[in-house]
Structure 1
Amino acid sequence: MNEQDKYTAHNGTSHTNTQDTMGTKTSTTYVYDSQLQKKPSELQASYEKELGMHMDLMSVGSGHRSKRSHNSTRTMLASFLIGAMVVGGFAYAADRNNLFSGGSAAAGSGTAQVASGSAQQDAGLTTASLGSDATVAQIYEAASPAVVKIETYTEASRQSTMMDDPLFRQFFGGERGGEQGQEQEEQQPSDQSSGSELTLSGSGTGFFFESDGYILTNEHVVSGAKEVKVTVQGYDEPLTAQVMGSSYELDLAVLKVTSPDGKAFPSLELGNSDETRIGDSVIAIGNPYGFDQTMTMGVLSAKERPITIADDQGEHEYEHLLQTDASINPGNSGGPLLNEEGQVIGINTAVNAEAQGIGFAIPTTTISKVLEQLKTNTL
């Protein structure tokens, strides 16, 4: 390798034509010749040497004009210093006033105000602000009165006692007979005479979709219930609901309650789930594990999800479900999944118990097709 090759990784600029001993041109190599590798003292000495040689040449060539040349050099140096000061001052002022960033205010104590100010809006920028949190609170405040808690009651067999044992009655005179036994049976409450009474068997969520008392929920929430009670905000006692229609295949049910005071119930608007996009913010409201009116928030994780759920009647196939990472737990079933406008885009239905943040909701596109049939029990 010749002497020229070992400079190809340095900084600086120059180029050299290399020739062999015969004078024939072989190649042209562009290299980076670094002046930054010299020490400051060496640079100063080199500069003073060059300046001294230049002054000597001017003195020899000019003779009696050397004084004028010296004054000219001082004038040029003074002009250079003045120019440097002017340019430096302008650069400082430009940086201080942020002249080259479109007029945006400098970052400081007003950072939050700048983030939502008109300067960034004019530049086409969008940033998160406290207004988004206020919007979520407003959606919950408006929607939660229409969300109800549903409790179901079923018959529970009366527990047997020793008095029910025929052998016990035979030896200890417990056998009922004659008019005395008939009188005791007549005095029994009707639910006891049938050998059962109503007990709380489960709970879930629903919501008013019409102000005259129609409630939408899951079929599995009210399945097998002898009586359904609905807790509505603003009422001291639960209201008894009637199951108008249900569909096991779709896991949908419509209930109906009557207002004791004749007032209209608050209701939620059904939106179009087809217009939603993956990544949209969603809000779930329900009664998970008995914690009434719980709100959770997340995003729409996926659409058109098929899942299979095993229940008492076998495997239940669902299609076209919405997937969300908003927390869905037992008790959320039948509750609304809302979009950013407060519209219902789905009914919370299922959750993957072995995972976190994988919940599913029946989309409103499925619900809207059968809603009137559910109301009239003609599905």
Structure 2
Amino acid sequence: MIRMNENKDIKHERDNASEGLTIYRYDSPKKAADLQAAYKDAIAENDRKGASGSGAQRRKRTSSQTLLAAFLAGALTIGGLAYMSDRMNLFSGGTANVVQTSASTANPASADAGVKTASLQSSTEDFAAVFNQANPAVVEIGNYGVENNQSRSNLFGSSRGQSGSRQQSLPTNEEPVLMGTGSGFFFNKDGYILTNQHVVADASELKVTVPGYDEPLEAKVVNENEDLDLAVIKVETQDGKAFPTLGFGDSNQANIGDWVIAIGNPYGLDHTMTTGVLSAKERPITVAEDDGSEHKYEHLLQTDASINPGNSGGPLLNTKGEVIGVNTAVNAEAQGIGFAIPSSTIQDAVKEMMKGTTESSL
């Protein structure tokens, strides 16, 4: 048996570009033409020496010729097989093409850049698919009431783009005005919407802009949980059709560094998508209330996806299009620091708020 790394006709190489990768190549110095010429010269020499020899000598010469011919034929056969096996990458396990591809990349950094570009392209395509799937279920909520200058907190913003003020009771002789807007999403096909409590707080009227409807729909508050800053409101369908909904994912299974997607209406710019990563979990924040008291929120998700006034109440999605959080706060003095209530908290709270309704489950 020929051991490929010891045979002189086989050249053993190690490709420096792929450390640890062993390739065997056939590299015989004897060509078929050289062997044929040597064979003819050997026969001619034997003919000259044995022209006047005995019959025994002729038989010996014939035997020598036969052995030589067999040896040369065997050498040609083995050489041909070794050459073909090298061409077919039988000894390299199909790795020669891999090495060639690596060698064709002169700059290793370029190869890394190609991998990153492909990964980013794939992520971009995933984002677009998630947006197209989730967007019809995301709504804009208008809070109408009495205008005042109070603001709940710099964490929630005081812009007209987001509800956060405490409205007063509406005088009978005064028309309600738009105090701010927030976001929400359908979690039930019968028109139940989840949003932040501060988005609907003290509203005299709530108007919800739903994709596919020409006019905003009036909404009623079903239940509120001020401690968790969650609220459920409901609109009635005008055409008898079910509303598109979003399902909940498991925020406990989300990892720091995972891609996340926020959809909402920042500063009244409807159906805006932003992307980022999950920056932290179990984050506590403290909000100063209008009366000077403080309210602490715990177990929040932190993300660097852009969340601005008006995003409150909108969904924070994973790349599967599942809701893993409700966007609830942004630090007005920072960039890339937003917070969301995790789905692990939301689902239990929604079940409680839905008790007594015709639809008591998610």
TM-score by length of 1: 0.58
For the residue of structure 2 that corresponds to 1:196, the secondary structure is coil
For the residue of structure 2 that corresponds to 1:142, the secondary structure is helix
Match of residue 299 from structure 1? 277
Letter in 2 for 1:144: N
Checking the alignment, whether the CA contact within 8 Å between 2:146 and 2:170 is kept in structure 1 is no
Provide the C-alpha distance between the structure 1 equivalents of 2:215 and 2:348, rounded to a whole number of angstroms. 34
Match of 2:189 among 211, 230, 236: 211
Provide the C-alpha distance between the structure 2 equivalents of 1:315 and 1:375, rounded to a whole number of angstroms. 28
Deviations 1:111-155 (A, max 9, x none): 9xx9999xx9xxxx9961522211110100110110000001114
Q: CA deviation at 1:342?
A: 0.6
For the residue of structure 2 that corresponds to 1:306, the secondary structure is strand
Q: CA deviation at 1:197?
A: 2.1
Match of residue 199 from structure 1? 177
Match of residue 53 from structure 2? none
Deviations 1:309-351 (A, max 9, x none): 1122432210000000000100000000000101000000111
TM-aligned CA distance change 1:193 to 1:116, over 3 Å: closer
Provide the C-alpha distance between the structure 1 equivalents of 2:203 and 2:308, rounded to a whole number of angstroms. 21
Match of 2:123 among 122, 132, 136: 132
For the residue of structure 1 that corresponds to 2:176, the secondary structure is strand
Match of residue 137 from structure 2? 146
Letter in 1 for 2:132: E
Match of 2:245 among 239, 261, 267: 267
Which structure has the bigger radius of gyration? 1
Provide the C-alpha distance between the structure 1 equivalents of 2:344 and 2:224, rounded to a whole number of angstroms. 17
For the residue of structure 2 that corresponds to 1:376, the secondary structure is coil
Give runs of aligned pairs for residues 297-376 of structure 1, distance below 5 A: 297-313=275-291, 314-376=293-355
For the residue of structure 2 that corresponds to 1:197, the secondary structure is coil
Match of residue 34 from structure 1? none
Match of residue 209 from structure 2? 231
> Across the two proteins, how many residue pairs are aligned to each other?
241
Checking the alignment, whether the CA contact within 8 Å between 1:244 and 1:376 is kept in structure 2 is no
Match of residue 264 from structure 2? 286
For the residue of structure 2 that corresponds to 1:128, the secondary structure is helix
Provide the C-alpha distance between the structure 2 equivalents of 1:353 and 1:377, rounded to a whole number of angstroms. 38
Checking the alignment, whether the CA contact within 8 Å between 2:170 and 2:176 is kept in structure 1 is no
Report % sequence identity. 57
Q: CA deviation at 1:375?
A: 2.1
Deviations 1:213-249 (A, max 9, x none): 1100000000000110000000000000110000110
Checking the alignment, whether the CA contact within 8 Å between 2:147 and 2:179 is kept in structure 1 is no
Letter in 2 for 1:140: F
Letter in 2 for 1:327: S
Which stretches in structure 2 are left out of the alignment for 5+ residues?
1-85, 87-93, 149-168, 358-362
Match of 1:99 among 84, 96, 111: 96
Checking the alignment, whether the CA contact within 8 Å between 1:209 and 1:267 is kept in structure 2 is yes
Provide the C-alpha distance between the structure 1 equivalents of 2:170 and 2:231, rounded to a whole number of angstroms. 30
Which stretches in structure 1 are left out of the alignment for 5+ residues?
1-89, 91-96, 158-190
Letter in 2 for 1:211: K
Q: CA deviation at 1:374?
A: 1.2
Q: Report which of the two has the higher share of helix.
A: 1
Deviations 1:178-230 (A, max 9, x none): xxxxxxxxxxxxx9983322111111000001111110000000000011000
Structural RMSD (CA): 3.3
TM-aligned CA distance change 1:146 to 1:107, over 3 Å: farther
Letter in 2 for 1:233: P
Q: CA deviation at 1:105?
A: 6.2
